[in-house]
Amino acid sequence: MMSWRRRNPQLVLGALQFGFVVRYLGDPLVRGFTTAAAFQVLISQIKLILNLPSRTYSGVLAIFYTTIDIFTNISKTNFADLTAGSITVVLCLAVKDLNERFKHILRIPIPIEVIVAIIATGISYGVNLEGTYNAAIVKNVPSGFVPPVAPDISLFSQMIVPAFSIGILAYALAVSLGKVYATKYNYEIDGNQEFIAFGVSNIFSSCFSCFCATTALSRTAVQESTGGKTQIAGIITAAVVMISLLSVGRYLEPLQKSVLAAIVIANLKGMFWQVADIPRLWRQSKWDAAIWLFTCFASLLLDIDLGLLAGVLFGLFTVLLRVQYASCSSLGNVPGTDIYRDVKKYKNVDELEGIKVIRFSSAIFYGNVESLKDGIKLIVGFDPVKIFNKRTKAQQKVNRLLKKKLIMTNENGINRNSATGEDTESDEEMHNYYGVERKEVNANNFNMQADGNTEFSSSVPIPVITMHSIIFDFGQVSFLDVVAVDCLKGIFKEFQRIEVDVFIAEYDDNVFGQLESCDFFNDAIKTDLCFLTIHDAVLHIQKQKKNCSSCSLLDMASHMQVQPASRNEILKRTLPVKSVEREIR
């Protein structure tokens, strides 16, 4: 009934192309999960090899309860089963090693599992291991098929929720194991095809009281180790099982369970070796190593189903963390080129005087805008809001002194009256920011005059920014949301009011479209601030500042060892996107 009911969500999800969920089963997650599953199988098979009385546990901490039972009853070990199981493990591992070493000679691998099963069955039957040594054998093997039965429709409403969850879990288990062998043998898995295949197979199997179709780690490992890699192996296996159910099953009744368990354990060798992934992953990516370890331990502690779910959620959480704490880096120019690289990672790069080039390493959204703002402040060396507030405070103080006539004006400016008794802002209150200097108040500093035509200066200190431009490199920004656009508006405003120009370069067309759709551009932030490349923005800034700088544009170009382009080329390259499109047309 459950199997029949389960095919509905699988068929529906397959038809709706929900196979994309396979993408969230990354290689570290899958290998950690299958390693934990291998250990789960190992513990369950050890009980059979030792022939110990033990309960069957499921759910959280089931593997530990089973292990406790094993050690509690270890004194009741059946040595006939232990001996048979140990010999089988050694033989299977040895022959498999020979098959691997001499596979260029052996056209067909030695089927050691079949040979061992036949020999063990004969020995058990001839010696009567069950009667003499109380060995656990297969005993009764039912023959034939169960007559088909139509599902009870009245139970559908009660089973829809568990059927859906079981269907998703069975699919995830099968696909996760399938990805292991897909990677090993270089083929791809179609998630939608798997959904539909499981759904269709359950339509027919449910009528014969079969369990829900999914993967079996132990049987899959046995088939793969014996050389079965294609659908032909599945057809042959199904034919053998059918023959066994119809006629041969009774001949396998004397076979010891410990021998079957030993065959399973021997074929899990490859799964156990996946533990060697941890050192490699730790060197390559600590995030992936964390996903591997978390999924493995979660599957051991919470059991297979909850462990897989926990692993998927943890993997998504790590992605969120990495995006949330996206890094910003300061770029410098490679001399003689128009290339810009991280100043912390490259030695021979020069930061441009008065210009900061800041690269964002990921998409910008509501989760990482705060860390983005902190990264910008760290790179430029000051907080634009604090700088603005200190300038405003200094201006208010000078206005107050002028109003009280505590400072005098003359044709050369304003002189502070030393007898006023008013102190200026202390050094402790005035932070020494990187890129920020302390200068006397004058018209250039915050554009104020004493009487409308007489400029002034006083001993009131205010922070003066030596940096005049910032370029945001959007080359790695894949998308923006509304919160991110609003945050960028605020950043532009904060820097523009302290006379620091902000530009955008290397943006994607989709990102530019998102900026337009979110009304990012206005009278203060124009599309002229957007450039196709960082170097175009740099050339534009240098041209813009040449009249107010001691260095001419040619001097700056000589310093960078890059010849400036012609006027028409610079104009074309520094036009906004829409203007460029019009120019092309």
Q: What are 240-282's pLDDT values in tens digits?
A: 888 877 777 778 889 999 999 999 999 888 889 999 999 999 9
Distance between CA atoms of 25 and 512, rounded to whole angstroms? 33
How many angstroms separate the Cα of 174 from the Cα of each of 18, 182, 314, 447? 15, 12, 20, 71
As given in the structure block, the two tokens for residue 493 are 């405003």
**pLDDT tier, 10 (very low <50, low <70, confident <90, very high otherwise):** low
Task: Name the residue ranges covered by the structural domains of the chain.
Answer: 2-320, 324-383+470-584, 384-465
Residue range 324-383+470-584 forms a domain whose CATH class is alpha beta
pLDDT for 386-409, tens place per residue? Answer: 999 988 888 888 788 777 766 655
Question: 245-250 long-range contacts, Cβ below 8 Å, gap at least 24?
Answer: 245/141, 245/142, 245/143, 245/144, 245/145, 246/143, 246/144, 247/143, 249/141, 249/142, 249/143, 250/141, 250/143
pLDDT(519) > 60: yes
pLDDT (mean) for 27-32: 88
As given in the structure block, the two tokens for residue 239 are 């034919």
Within 8 A by CB and 6+ apart from 1, the residues are 151, 152, 155, 159, 206
Please report the pLDDT score of residue 251 as a whole number: 83
Measure CA of the first residue to CA of the last residue in the chain; give whole Å.
Answer: 66
Please report the pLDDT score of residue 472 as a whole number: 96
Supply the pTM of this predicted model.
0.71
pLDDT(165) > 80: no
Task: Answer for the pair 177, 34: CB distance below 8 angstroms, yes or no.
Answer: yes
Share the mean pLDDT of the chain: 79
The amino acid present at 472, given as its one-letter code, is F
pLDDT(86) > 70: yes
Parallel, antiparallel, or unpaired: how do β-strands 407-410 and 413-416 relate?
antiparallel
Most confident among 97-111, 202-216, 361-375 (mean pLDDT) = 361-375
How many angstroms separate the Cα of 425 from the Cα of each of 408, 421, 431, 447? 20, 13, 11, 20
Distance between CA atoms of 584 and 532, rounded to whole angstroms? 14
Within 8 A by CB and 6+ apart from 353, the residues are none
**pLDDT tier, 555 (very low <50, low <70, confident <90, very high otherwise):** very low
**Of 349, 340, 319, 343, the residue nearest 329 (C-alpha):** 343
pLDDT(426) > 80: no
**Of 522, 530, 518, the residue nearest 483 (C-alpha):** 518
**Of 562, 506, 490, 503, the residue nearest 529 (C-alpha):** 503
pLDDT for 189-205, tens place per residue? Answer: 888 888 888 888 887 77
